[in-house]
Chains A and B, each alone.
Chain A
Amino acid sequence: MKKLFYTLVVPVSVWAIMELLSRCFAGVSVIANSADMKSLFRTLTSTFCFAMALNCNVPMGRMDLSTGAQMYLGCILGGNIALKLGFGGVGVLIGSILVGCLAGFIVGVVFINLRILSMVLGLGMTLIYECISFASYKQQGLMLFGKPGVGILSNIWFIVSVAAMIILFMTYMLQLSVFGYKRRAIRGNQKLAVDSGINIYINCLICYAMAGALVAVSGVFDTAFKGTLNPVLGMSSNNNTFYNMFPMRVGMFLGVFIGNPIIGIFASSISLNILILGMAKLGLDQSLQTIIIFSIFLFFMIYNMNQEKLEYNKRKRERKKIALQHRREMKEMQTQVNRNHITTGS
């Protein structure tokens, strides 16, 4: 019950606040109809998958900046191959997942063998992957608009099913499986994990491959919503990576209370997308939306990083309060004793 409460408290609170503001200032509901619901689920799944992908590596001390580029590569190559072979939306999704997984796997192999810091390697791989995505298919990227059989990617039940499957799969992998157990051990202390016989290389490769697959899913749903995915250059794909650090980080924080970081990330993704939807209903311009979202992130990080200090100060205040009360009681007792003494003395 407590876990359910922690799961729902943030999304529900965000929804309540945005609903109030939306009704007061715009006269409409945040989620007014099925189209709104569909839009929310689509963007939510996209955000959730990307944040989950980041969660595969970032907590392990590997901030992989090539995640965004892996998404572009996976979707553009995998999606176009699937369309050429005449597969529909499901084929596009599977094709993108396979290519994304391969892209992530390659980054993992290079990382393990060259032992270059993940962030630095990510820069180089971003340059390469963006170039490949850009040069393929005459710079057209992936266009899903008007293609036969891709309508399923906009079907709300399909989106919900995919999200549910990812939650179940990732919960099993990261929380219940031996792989997840070993991953937590490596996260605690890599050297001890190695000494205890854990193969950190295989674990690392699987993390990278999973991350690549997840960002591909994110990219496919995003493309299904926007109709097209145009390739980028100049490390612009890093923007996706940085943007999705917010739900990942908040999700990890919520995950501590919920007991499951995957659910935590899902809850934070819902909250963020309700916030964005609410701000869109209020008609706020892009710059203001960005300032609000990232200011909230900043305040959250300030709170999160200083939680212990705040807890310490709170306990200190409580101790002080107890001490003062104790002193008052002692004083009263002393006064009483003195009074008795005077009375009996006379």
Chain B
Amino acid sequence: MKFKKNLVVLLACITMFFLSACKGSASTSTIASTTTPESSATTAPLATDKAPAETPQDFKTFKIGVVEKQATDETVVRREFYENFIAPNYNVQFIFSEVITDVEGEVNFIENCADAGVDAIICMRGGTDAYQLSQIAADYGMLYLYQGRREAAADLFVADYDNFIGAFGASLPLMTKAYSDYLAENASDDGSEGFIILSSDASKGNLVQTDLTVSILQVLQDKYGLTYEKDLKTLAISDAPTIVKNNKDIAIYIYPGQVKQDGWLEGVSSALQSGRYGYLISTLQSYTQTSVVVDEVERTFDKNITVMSMGTMGDALTTAMNTMDKFGNPSVDFVALELTSIKSAGNFAMVYNALTGHKDNMRGSDGLMSAFDYNRIFLTSPEQLSVMEDWDMNGKWAVSREYVDGMLGIYHSEITADDIQEHLNTVTSYEYIYNYLEG
């Protein structure tokens, strides 16, 4: 009995320890000391009646909630970027969610943010549910922006919604061109090596992965003059592994599913072990998970497999690029890299414009809110990575104050949506970032 009592006391102490030791820092999620008006009205808390202020310090400390959908390198880097770069420079606080995978979770988070006095929500889950969720945010008087493509929530771009800020996603034409250029340079003229496309959640409605799968099929179609038996969209969203039949019998295989699903990797392994495929093209970051099976197949068949993937800066990418296979090639040959700071800064700039009364600066020519694009960087060699290895790490952010300020209405009261997009096209290019960081 005494031991039980002691154990109970120990458990209570552990709880108190967690509560006291894990309280967030002032720049992040601490809200106890602030008092905000009850956000029961439907209008957004915009400083629309104020004259444009000159500095962020002239405004109140805005609170921004960030909805995260996964726990990866990117999540960690984004948190550090927001807490250590954005928050002190722009007088804002951030509240980060736990990993949220479903709509109910995001609704709960929005409600909790409302009670914590949050002014705006940045949703990193993609825009599939954005239409409903932005209306829920509106009910609580919060602004809403989602990370993703316009098409994910097209309904939000056909009318004017008070609280909807817009969308921010990777440029698809640029990605398509990069894939196309790489294949044009490296793939054979007859396509004899065969191609596996990992379509990931395209079958579950993920628009980025759907569009990318369609683009890759298009690139192959253009390169080899193919005619498919089914249309590209139908092939891309297939929820079962599909052999893409075409007029030239080039081996193309679409494999859907998420890395974490039971049996996914076994299926990829089986497909590769057929020996029919020399290209593994992924619409998600999967080079870590597929590296072992690719390596084994390369050894078994004495055949090089070219791996193309999406990716973010971090240990996983560094390891992948520096781990050589038996042919002396890196484990991943082509990465469409996303710098977290670029993505996160763009999201923030859009939200900040709306909070500081410059929402209208972001309207398109149709008078409605815009969806902005940013560039990915395309990595094809370990040498290139060695230059970029510490980008977005340990405070060496790929974005500068100029990058962010260049999009803000408080510094450029006459800025338009086209100006912002042009600015993004420049500052998110590899050359610009290289010159800024290494020049």
Binding site for B on A (CB under 8 A): 28, 32-36, 38-39, 43, 110, 113-114, 134, 138-140, 143, 145-147, 154, 224-228, 230-231, 233-234, 243, 276-277, 279-281, 283-290
User: Contacts A145-B320, A228-B288: A138 and B266 contacting too (C-beta < 8 A)?
Assistant: no
A134 touches B319 (CB 8 A): no
User: Contacts A32-B273, A140-B73, A231-B71: A39 and B266 contacting too (C-beta < 8 A)?
Assistant: yes
List of A residues within 8 angstroms of B300 by Cβ:
33-35
Question: What are the interface flags for B67-95 relative to A under an 8 Å C-beta threshold, 1 for contact and 0 otherwise?
Answer: 00001110110000000000000000000
Stretch at the interface among B140-148, B172-180, B289-297, B337-345: B289-297
The answer to whether the Cβ of B240 comes within 8 Å of any Cβ in the partner chain is yes
8 A Cβ contacts from B251-307 to A: 256-257, 259-267, 269-270, 273-274, 288-293, 296-297, 300
Question: What are the interface flags for B319-357 relative to A under an 8 Å C-beta threshold, 1 for contact and 0 otherwise?
Answer: 110110000000100000000000000000000000000
- Which residue of the partner chain B has the closest CB to A222? B265
The answer to whether the Cβ of B154 comes within 8 Å of any Cβ in the partner chain is no
CB distance from B390 to the nearest CB of A (A): 16
Cα A231 to Cα B262 in complex, Å, equals: 16
B319 touches A276 (CB 8 A): no
The answer to whether the Cβ of B53 comes within 8 Å of any Cβ in the partner chain is no
List of B residues within 8 angstroms of A243 by Cβ:
262
Known pairs A39-B293, A145-B291; list 17 more (Cβ under 8 Å).
A33-B300, A39-B266, A113-B3, A113-B4, A139-B71, A139-B75, A145-B316, A145-B319, A145-B323, A224-B292, A225-B293, A230-B260, A234-B99, A276-B266, A280-B266, A285-B257, A287-B239
- Which residue of the partner chain A has the closest CB to B297? A35
Residue total for B at the interface (Cβ-Cβ under 8 A): 45
List of A residues within 8 angstroms of B290 by Cβ:
227
CB distance from A27 to the nearest CB of B (A): 9
List of B residues within 8 angstroms of A113 by Cβ:
3-4, 7
- Which residue of the partner chain B has the closest CB to A135? B22
List of B residues within 8 angstroms of A233 by Cβ:
71, 98-99
Binding site for A on B (CB under 8 A): 3-4, 7, 71-73, 75-76, 98-99, 239-241, 243, 256-257, 259-267, 269-270, 273-274, 288-293, 296-297, 300, 315-316, 319-320, 322-323, 331
A33 touches B273 (CB 8 A): yes
List of A residues within 8 angstroms of B257 by Cβ:
285-286
Of A28, A43, A226, A280, which contacts B289 at CB under 8 A? A226
Is the contact region of chain A dominated by helix, strand, or loop, or is it mixed? helix
List of B residues within 8 angstroms of A288 by Cβ:
240
- Which residue of the partner chain A has the closest CB to B288? A227
List of A residues within 8 angstroms of B267 by Cβ:
280, 283
List of B residues within 8 angstroms of A281 by Cβ:
270
A-B contact pairs, 9 of them (CB 8 A): A35-B269, A113-B4, A145-B288, A147-B319, A225-B292, A233-B98, A234-B99, A277-B266, A279-B263
User: Contacts A43-B266, A138-B76: A227 and B291 contacting too (C-beta < 8 A)?
Assistant: yes
User: Contacts A139-B76, A228-B289, A280-B267: A285 and B239 contacting too (C-beta < 8 A)?
Assistant: yes
Cα A288 to Cα B260 in complex, Å, equals: 17
B261 touches A230 (CB 8 A): no
- Which residue of the partner chain A has the closest CB to B299? A35
User: Contacts A146-B291, A146-B320, A233-B98: A289 and B71 contacting too (C-beta < 8 A)?
Assistant: no
* Of listed A33, A228, A280, A281, residue having the most chain B CB within 10 A: A280
List of B residues within 8 angstroms of A289 by Cβ:
262-263
Cα A145 to Cα B240 in complex, Å, equals: 28
B262 touches A277 (CB 8 A): no
Is the contact region of chain B dominated by helix, strand, or loop, or is it mixed? helix
Cα A227 to Cα B287 in complex, Å, equals: 9
B263 touches A286 (CB 8 A): yes
A143 touches B319 (CB 8 A): yes
Cα A284 to Cα B73 in complex, Å, equals: 32
A286 touches B262 (CB 8 A): yes
CB distance from B127 to the nearest CB of A (A): 23
* Of listed B239, B257, B267, residue having the most chain A CB within 10 A: B267
List of B residues within 8 angstroms of A33 by Cβ:
273, 300
- Which residue of the partner chain A has the closest CB to B71? A139
Of B241, B269, B322, which contacts A39 at CB under 8 A? B269
Cα A36 to Cα B274 in complex, Å, equals: 10
List of B residues within 8 angstroms of A286 by Cβ:
256-257, 261-264
Of B243, B260, B273, which contacts A35 at CB under 8 A? B273
Cα A126 to Cα B291 in complex, Å, equals: 30
Cα A50 to Cα B292 in complex, Å, equals: 22
List of A residues within 8 angstroms of B320 by Cβ:
145-146
A285 touches B240 (CB 8 A): yes
User: Contacts A143-B288, A146-B291, A286-B257: A226 and B265 contacting too (C-beta < 8 A)?
Assistant: yes
B3 touches A285 (CB 8 A): no
- Which residue of the partner chain A has the closest CB to B105? A234
List of A residues within 8 angstroms of B241 by Cβ:
283-285
Closest 4 CB pairs of A and B: A146-B319, A285-B240, A146-B323, A283-B241
Cα A7 to Cα B73 in complex, Å, equals: 46
Cα A8 to Cα B293 in complex, Å, equals: 28
List of A residues within 8 angstroms of B297 by Cβ:
35
List of B residues within 8 angstroms of A34 by Cβ:
300
User: Contacts A32-B273, A33-B273, A138-B76: A283 and B289 contacting too (C-beta < 8 A)?
Assistant: no
User: Contacts A231-B71, A280-B266, A285-B241: A140 and B315 contacting too (C-beta < 8 A)?
Assistant: yes
List of A residues within 8 angstroms of B243 by Cβ:
283
* Of listed A28, A225, A290, residue having the most chain B CB within 10 A: A225
List of A residues within 8 angstroms of B323 by Cβ:
145-146
B72 touches A230 (CB 8 A): yes
CB distance from B180 to the nearest CB of A (A): 28
- Which residue of the partner chain A has the closest CB to B261? A286
List of B residues within 8 angstroms of A234 by Cβ:
98-99
List of B residues within 8 angstroms of A138 by Cβ:
76
CB distance from B47 to the nearest CB of A (A): 36
Cα A154 to Cα B294 in complex, Å, equals: 13
B4 touches A114 (CB 8 A): yes
Cα A281 to Cα B241 in complex, Å, equals: 10
A230 touches B319 (CB 8 A): no
List of B residues within 8 angstroms of A285 by Cβ:
239-241, 256-257
Cα A288 to Cα B239 in complex, Å, equals: 10
